[in-house]
Amino acid sequence: MSVRRLVLVRHGETVWNVARRIQGQSCSGLTDRGRAQAGRVGAVLAERWPDAVVVASDLPRCRDTAAPLGAGLGVEVHHDPVLRERAFGRWEGWSSDELVGRDGDRYRRWRAGDGAVLAEVGGETDAVLRDRAGGAFRALLALDADVAHPAVGDATTVVAVTHGGTIFHGLVGLLGLDPRRLGALENCSVTELLVGAPGPAPDDGSPRLVRFNETAHLD
């Protein structure tokens, strides 16, 4: 089996990241720092994997983060709504203080790990997000030949520029991880999955997480 690689990049810092507001599928735009992060991660990844295919969430913060990488590689960025962040319903745009003041009980339940509470505000539950994101990662890794992502083709490396929640819950869904074992993802961090790579255990064709939330390239 040939080695296949999926590199997951969280978008650059946004205005609402700084303001600590829930973004979901709304967009506030990258900050100057976020644009600099996008340029840096794009340059590093273009040098590291010059033959990569690039796929990104179609939300503006991911389009803008992926653009320098696409330009550096000289390739088209494929935009896919399946890679969007979780929909947070009516919570989108609210700060943590506003959540405590306006919907405190639900917010506390969510923070305590009740992933189903988002359905009550018109958002996606943890289970829905895991299925969506985990399925997208399977397609990008071509784990099921009949549902491989159309952008992948014969590429052995795919870079997907997406969102923190999408990466987190996609990994949980794809790998069956305990979510308590994963931390938060930083802006423009790099996470890497491999299929078919040599390792200490026999290769059964399952993806392996070999890099999580790497940020050294931003220093």
Active site residue ranges: 11, 85
- Cα dist. 10→49, 79, 114, 136, 173 in Å? 17, 15, 24, 15, 18
- Cα dist. 187→23, 157, 167 in Å? 14, 21, 12
CA 6 to chain centre: 11
